[in-house]
Amino acid sequence: MIELLEKLCALPGPSGCEDAVHDFILEQAKLYADEIREDHLGNLMIFRKGKQHIDKTVMLSAHMDEVGVICKGYTDDGCVKFGFVGGVDPRVVIGRRILFGDVRGVVGIKAVHLTTREERKTMPKTSSLYIDIGASDKKEAQKKVPLGTYGVFDSACVRFGDGLLKAKAIDDRVGCAVMLTILQEQPAVDTWFVFGVQEEVGLRGARCAAFALNPDVCLVLEGTTAADLAEVDGAKQVCGLRKGVVIPFMDRSTIYHQKMFETLRKLAEEHAIPWQTKHRVAGGTDAGRIHLTRTGVLTAGLAVPVRYIHSPSSVAALEDMQSMLALARHFLTYLGDEES
């Protein structure tokens, strides 16, 4: 699973341009699939018969897209003006490398010795940033990076420290890697695996996929914010690395089904899987759209804690990823046991 994740994180896939990730997942999954569906938005929905048939329609969901940038204009001296695709803190991108296809660039800002004292006290606005692609003038920049070209962080995927992984797009390629692993080894019950699009810009793909499949039960697999740093106190840390898979009871888009939450908690404890929950209501996932579909969907979530989320250097713990994989497996087995 970790090797799959490393390959997935290396691929470009900003919201609305998930093609490279879609194609990789399809290639990995098609030998195991009993049915494959795609929609006009770009969702990839793969069904695999499980070791047991149950009457419920079961759906696992993770999103393929990542945050990125998009070309909006140019400076006269050949730099690219841009907007963010998804939620990105401008502070994390200054001096970082950006990749527009095969064109590399670096995010720049006015030199510090040219700024006023007041400017140095405030967060830079996106409008004050630019991407230097090495073009000699505006005309050359327009040729290299046309308007509307998507860009992603140019960041290597690296294992480091005591079982940590640094990469862009851990949110939510980790969910995709877990689903691919379960799909390839055969799930415990018949399952739809939904690799969704455009989560980072409004949970859009999940709405279409859930409406098409009309599941009875859905488990959303995600990456979630961790702020477990020395200067952050108590609940503000949200969750922490190496403390296990996160089982959320609520976030800004969803109140997760209480029975589903309790089931996941009990399964984790019965099988000695490390788990935690969020200590602060923060963020949102595709569950926010899925659980509202048609007459409602029993929905729960699992997440891997991620430091520096939505940045070029997100960090997560390998052991937390394994915990999410293990608990997702046991949940599918539980659904089968419940009907037998």
Categorize the per-residue pLDDT at 114 as very low, low, confident or very high, splitting at 50, 70 and 90: low
| Co-location of 186 and 84 in the same domain | no
| Co-location of 193 and 317 in the same domain | yes
| Co-location of 191 and 328 in the same domain | yes
Interior/surface letters 251-264, b for 16+ CB within 10 angstroms, e for the rest: bebbebbeebbebb
pLDDT at 118 over 90: no
Ranges of beta strands (E only) in 1-143 are: 35-38, 44-48, 58-63, 68-74, 80-85, 97-100, 103-108, 130-132
Helix axes 170-185, 318-339, angle to 10 degrees: 50
Range of the domain at 173: 2-66+168-339
Six-digit token string for 170: 């851990």
pTM score, whole prediction: 0.94
| Co-location of 244 and 176 in the same domain | yes
Assess whether the previous peptide bond of 102 is cis (omega < 30° from 0).
Answer: no
Would you say residue 156 lies in a domain?
Answer: no
Q: Write out the catalytic residue numbers.
A: 199
| Co-location of 20 and 60 in the same domain | yes
Q: Can you give the pLDDT at residue 229?
A: 82
Would you say residue 154 lies in a domain?
Answer: no
| Co-location of 225 and 300 in the same domain | yes
Categorize the per-residue pLDDT at 115 as very low, low, confident or very high, splitting at 50, 70 and 90: low
pLDDT at 293 over 80: yes
pLDDT at 172 over 80: yes
pLDDT at 10 over 80: yes
The CATH number assigned to the domain holding 112 equals 2.40.30.40
| Co-location of 110 and 231 in the same domain | no
What is the number of structural domains in the chain? 2
- Residues 64, 68, 71, 77: what is their CA dihedral angle, to the nearest 10 degrees? -150
Whether 37 contacts 202, CB under 8 Å:
no
For 168-187, give the DSSP string. S-HHHHHHHHHHHHHHHH--
pLDDT at 123 over 90: no
In angstroms, the CA 158 to CA 170 distance is: 12
| Co-location of 182 and 329 in the same domain | yes
Q: Can you give the pLDDT at residue 333?
A: 97
Six-digit token string for 240: 């922490």
Would you say residue 213 lies in a domain?
Answer: yes
